[in-house]
Amino acid sequence: MSKENLTDKSGINTEDMILNMGPQHPSTHGVLRLKIHTDGEVVSKIEPIIGYLHRCFEKHSENLPYEQVVPFTDRCDYLSSMHMSHGYSIAVEKLLDIELPERVEYIRVIVSELQRIASHAFFIGVFGLDVGAITPFTWVFRDRERIVDLFETLTGARLLYNYVWPGGVSHDLPDKFVSRTLEFLDYFEPQLIEIDELLTTNKIFIERTADIGVLDKDVAINYGVTGPSLRASGIEFDLRKNEPYSVYDKLDFDVPVGKGEMGTVGDCWDRYIVRFLEIKESIKILRQCFKLIPKGDVHAALPKKVRPRKGSVYSRFESSRGELGYYIISDGKNVPTRVKMRSPAFSNLSALAQVSEGWMISDVITILGSLDIVLGEIDR
Amino acid sequence: MPEKTLIDSIKSIDDSIAYDDETKIFSIGEVDKWFEIATEIKNLNFDYLMCITSIDLENDQLALAYNLHSTETKKSIEFNLVFPKDAQIPSIESLWKTADWHEREAYDMMGIKFVNHPDMKRILLPHDWEGHPLRKNYVVADYYHGMYIPKDKTEWE
């Protein structure tokens, strides 16, 4: 049903009802509370209430040495821990002014892209679940499990890795990691076709997502929406291309953008397909990395003591949810004076109120799912 | 990294804007003019506000760092505001909606007061929380709603 039909009130004014959704609600993807003002079944105003998972990340980091902050960053976005510690390490390295061995950069890109596949696969599963498709959820979880297993062989942990450190990585890739990952990629690529057939062109899925929750590109930028959600609105904004870090400038990959194939540019379907296509790009990056990775010592640039110069830095990183920024102020000690995390989902969620206005309550779930939020990172 | 023409055009907005060549950061002396300056900056195609960081400088002064980016020219700039603890800062929520939640966070965590913000209240902490945790002189309260807040955590490990 189009948005215009929903808002037609035929001149009769009725009282708004306030509906409370959450904090314990499966489709809020964590502990998010939504205060929804409704007119019948149509949302007239929406107010996200956050903070249920606040763990004082920024205060903690002011009392810890730089290297001990890394495990805390992992716990912020628990679905892409590698990105969190990678982004933080880049920020600290900018203050330290150190050059990394090329092998370290390639290893970081490998784990980051594997993490991106895992995170986007997770998104496809739960987004399908949000709109009522249960099969894709079980299928992508079976495949994501293999990535988690790969990380387990690499770091010993399944979700929170503490692998990327300022100045390097904690240890080199273990034996057979490369062959196992290649084996996984060979297995996973045909699986993608199956998921594609299940969801992308599924009539019910298109009905639920196409033309729903259109995020205009000007609105998106004004709200600071980044990552796949912004790219779905038709803007080619990817920090891996715009401000390449690590070795992304040596790698060949495309940035998928929303084209509005099933409806309007920037609708929920576009936000789904952008992430789906990004998985394919990540696989492409991984295959190149395994060809290009040089030999070397991963601990060569690891500083004995992390004591950055005086000053401040704002460092940007493309996490699976968008622009992950770290603003770090150092006064020359081994403890940071201030660490601010600009979490991508925090800004993405703030656009929810604007996007979901005028849609039905069931569509709010779809829109929220398509924004792919992680509450751990929003509340920090 | 801003180039010379951009620096000059930003400096010409107002006399109180200074630019540090070493840190590549703009600073503004008079915080009351911030909204007018910000409006002009937005007209220079800086359409994307990346981040607002609140900082406690400890000598009774607070600071705010605004990181801006232009999606058209791909340039990034940073503005710093330094002001005394009880100063009122003009909100830029009407220019960049990102500022809405980021300013609420700065108020919640650092106790910076913004004027002309439509919905200024705490965002991450409960509405009845006392104090602003990211201040350097913040002391954790003994009790919250009758619950004891443990401070010695050595036996937790």
Average pLDDT taken over every residue of chain A = 87
Residue pLDDT, tens place only, A202-221: 888 888 888 888 888 889 99
Residues ≥6 apart with Cβ < 8 Å to B136: B56, B58
Look-up of token digits 């062989």: A153
Question: Does the pLDDT value for residue A26 go beyond 70?
Answer: no
pLDDT < 70 regions, chain B: 1-2, 155-157
C-alpha B43/C-alpha B37 separation (Å) is 10
Residue pLDDT, tens place only, A224-263: 899 898 999 888 888 888 888 888 888 888 899 888 888 8
Question: Does the pLDDT value for residue A3 go beyond 60?
Answer: no
Contact residues on chain B for A54, CB-CB shorter than 8 A: 124-125
Read off the pTM.
0.89
Are A75 and A55 a contacting pair, CB within 8 Å? yes
Contact residues on chain A for B54, CB-CB shorter than 8 A: 340
Confidence of residue A327 (pLDDT cuts 50, 70, 90): very high
Confidence of residue A120 (pLDDT cuts 50, 70, 90): very high
Residue pLDDT, tens place only, B46-62: 888 888 999 988 888 88
Q: What is chain B's alpha carbon radius of gyration, rounded to the nearest angstrom?
A: 18
Put simply, the answer to whether A224 touches B50 (Cβ < 8 Å) is yes
C-alpha B131/C-alpha B110 separation (Å) is 9
pLDDT of A135 reads: 87
What's the token pair of residue A326? 């770290």
Q: Which of B124, B127, B134, B138 to mutate to test the interface with A (most CBs of A within 10 A)?
A: B124
pLDDT of B13 reads: 76
Are A188 and A310 a contacting pair, CB within 8 Å? no
Question: Does the pLDDT value for residue A348 go beyond 70?
Answer: yes
Question: Does the pLDDT value for residue A307 go beyond 80?
Answer: yes
pLDDT of B2 reads: 59
Confidence of residue A358 (pLDDT cuts 50, 70, 90): confident
Question: Does the pLDDT value for residue A12 go beyond 70?
Answer: no
Put simply, the answer to whether A54 touches B124 (Cβ < 8 Å) is yes
C-alpha B157/C-alpha B154 separation (Å) is 7
- CB < 8 Å from B in window 333-362 of A: 338, 340, 342, 346-347, 350-351, 354
Instruction: Of A216, A189, A213, A356, give the one whose Cα is nearest residue A276.
Output: A189
Put simply, the answer to whether A338 touches B48 (Cβ < 8 Å) is no
Question: Does the pLDDT value for residue A167 go beyond 60?
Answer: yes
Looking at CA atoms only, how far is residue A259 from chain B in angstroms?
Answer: 19
Put simply, the answer to whether B48 touches A224 (Cβ < 8 Å) is yes
ipTM over 0.90: no
Residue B65 main-chain phi, psi, to 5 deg: -115, 125
Put simply, the answer to whether B134 touches A59 (Cβ < 8 Å) is yes
Question: Does the pLDDT value for residue A283 go beyond 80?
Answer: yes
Q: Which residue of A has its CA nearest to B137?
A: A59
The three-state DSSP-derived secondary structure of chain B is CCCHHHHHHHHCCCCCEEEECCCCEEEECCHHHHHHHHHHHHHCCCCEEEEEEEEECCCCEEEEEEEEECCCCCCEEEEEEEEECCCEEECCCCCCCHHHHHHHHHHHHHCCEEECCCCCCCCCCCCCCCCCCCCCCCCCCCEECCEECCCCCHHHC
